Amino acid sequence: MEQKKLALVSGANGHLGNNLVRLLLSKGIPVRASVRSLKNKEPFAGLHCEVVQADITDKASFVRALKGVDTFYAVGASFKLWAKDPQKEIYDVNIAGTRNTIEAAVEAGVKRIVYVSSIAALDYTHLPTKESNGYNPDRRDMYYNSKNDGEKLAFELAKKHGIELVAVLPAAMIGPVAFAPLNVSYNIIRLILQKQIPVETNITLNWIDVRDVAEGCYLAATKGKNGERYILASEKCTSIKETTKIAQQLFPELKLKLPVAVPRPILYAVAWLMETGSKISGKAPVLTMKDIAMFSGLQQNFDISKARTELGFNPKNSRDAVKEAMHYLRENAHRLS
């Protein structure tokens, strides 16, 4: 399926959205980029695309933004694992956003939607995790709940309204091009380089180059089967300790130390103190008690054969992705701090 008609990318000033805009433009596809606020022009400097204001909580803004659009890349969402009121600031925003944008796409006559879900919407009880495992039964996190329920809702609405929809489920996106503030995943790499993760949490991440995810989104638009979901991830996850080792090898001058193992009760105590401070400051803590409970020891390994076979998805090695991401952060530290 050739794609040279107008595409809309929502959340186009975010990490994935902006890289996707760049990829589509490089393929000669006309792009309309939607953002919640038009104030920040930096992500679009030198890019020949139309930039419009649209907010996922405002359906009318998306009906306008999607006029004349053939393919809608639904990237925009509230991506944070912590908020003062997670139900209101994360869950409600993402569920309303899914409903509003898909209904707006139907009204505007859009042909196809690539819905950006997350590996949060997968069941990890059998490894390696694959799409057919179903949805995540762990209901302890509002962001995770919003991605699980949002993806189900997206498929229900698409079926009800007769619009083509393919879901993609990216892992922890890192690498160029990035703008401040960094996303949750990429910020972990920054914290490692800044020696701000001193204790071993046994948390692993599935690192993936954001440009490979952008390519996966395009492949889903052109080759993905209607009603299907595709994991866009690396096969193997990497611990924060292993990620720190990569940084040690790349930048010996930083004299990075490996995170120190501590008893679990101390880990919880550290997280509790961080959370307590965050309630006062309003800034997200580096570590929460829920992070330890949900993610410590969780192996985020994936079977990506479906995306490889049906889409031709072929991501770079996660170790190479980490190295490139770290070099980019070091070279752009002044801009991304």
Q: What is the DSSP string of 197-264?
A: --EE--BEE-EEEHHHHHHHHHHHHHHPPTT-EEEES-SS-EEHHHHHHHHHHH-GGG-PPPPEE--H
Average pLDDT over residues 269-295: 94
Q: Are 200 and 262 in contact (CB under 8 A)?
A: yes
Domain chopping of the chain, boundaries? 7-191+206-239+299-321
Query: What is the value of pTM for the model shown?
Result: 0.97
Q: How confident is the model at residue 73 (pLDDT cuts 50, 70, 90)?
A: very high
CA gap 302, 149 in Å, rounded: 21
> For 283-318, what is each residue's pLDDT tens digit?
999 999 999 999 999 999 999 999 999 999 999 999
Average pLDDT over residues 168-178: 98
Q: DSSP readout, 63-126?
A: HHHTTT-SEEEE------S--SSHIIIIIHHHHHHHHHHHHHHHHHT--EEEEE--GGGS--SS
> For 19-63, what is each residue's pLDDT tens digit?
999 999 999 999 999 999 999 999 999 999 999 999 999 999 999
> For 175-207, what is each residue's pLDDT tens digit?
999 999 999 999 999 999 999 998 999 999 999
Which CATH architecture describes the domain 7-191+206-239+299-321?
A: 3-Layer(aba) Sandwich (3.40)
pLDDT of residue 308: 98
Q: How confident is the model at residue 4 (pLDDT cuts 50, 70, 90)?
A: confident
Which phi-psi region, left, alpha or beta, contains residue 312 (left: φ > 0; alpha: ψ -120 to 50)? left
pLDDT of residue 3: 55
Q: Which tokens go with 238?
A: 């990497």
> For 106-160, what is each residue's pLDDT tens digit?
999 999 999 999 999 999 999 999 999 999 999 999 999 999 999 999 999 999 9
For residue 2, is pLDDT > 80? Answer: no
Beta partners for residue 238, in sequence order: 205
CA gap 328, 276 in Å, rounded: 33
pLDDT of residue 105: 98
CA gap 116, 150 in Å, rounded: 10
